[in-house]
Amino acid sequence: MSEYVYRCMIVRAEDVAVARTIAEGISPTAGANMWLGAWSPNGQAPATHYADSGSIGPEWEVLMPLQTWTRDENGDWVLADVYLGDPQALYDACVQYGVQVTQQQIADLFNHSDVTTQEPAEALARMGLQLVQAEEP
């Protein structure tokens, strides 16, 4: 039996609808209610990114991009490795499940997402993002 793996997935605000459509379309139960955490550089609206994290199955692991970050001798974050994912296979899965997205939308999502094995607090801090605070009623 294949094991699940952990991923922290941060997507741009302009790509979050596509990410949600794909997740819910291919996996309605597991994909529901993803990317609800809204983030921005100053913690103020509008959100620039949405984050989600958790375990994913091996079928998703091979499709999704993955970046590996490490710190250099000065403590700065350095991109150490990149797996580009398989956007064509994800598109093919979308077609199979009747999910209405384009190859360009998937390419944009892959090219602009931050997908790592980092805990959300670490990944969001690395990106300089803060939780968007709800406005007072």
Give percent of the chain above pLDDT 90. Answer: 82
pLDDT in tens, 42-69: 999 999 999 999 998 887 888 899 999 9
pLDDT in tens, 11-48: 999 999 999 999 999 888 888 889 999 999 999 999 99
Runs of H (alpha helix) within the chain = 16-26, 58-61, 87-97, 103-112, 120-126
Report the pLDDT value the prediction gives residue 2, as an integer from 0 to 100. 66
Give the other-Cβ count within 10 Å of 64's Cβ: 20
- Angstrom distance (rounded) from CA 91 to CA 134: 35
Q: Which amino acid is at 55?
A: S
Report the pLDDT value the prediction gives residue 44, as an integer from 0 to 100. 95
Q: Taking Cα atoms as reference points, which of 133, 135, 108, 128 lies closest to residue 15?
A: 108
- Angstrom distance (rounded) from CA 114 to CA 10: 5
- Angstrom distance (rounded) from CA 30 to CA 4: 13
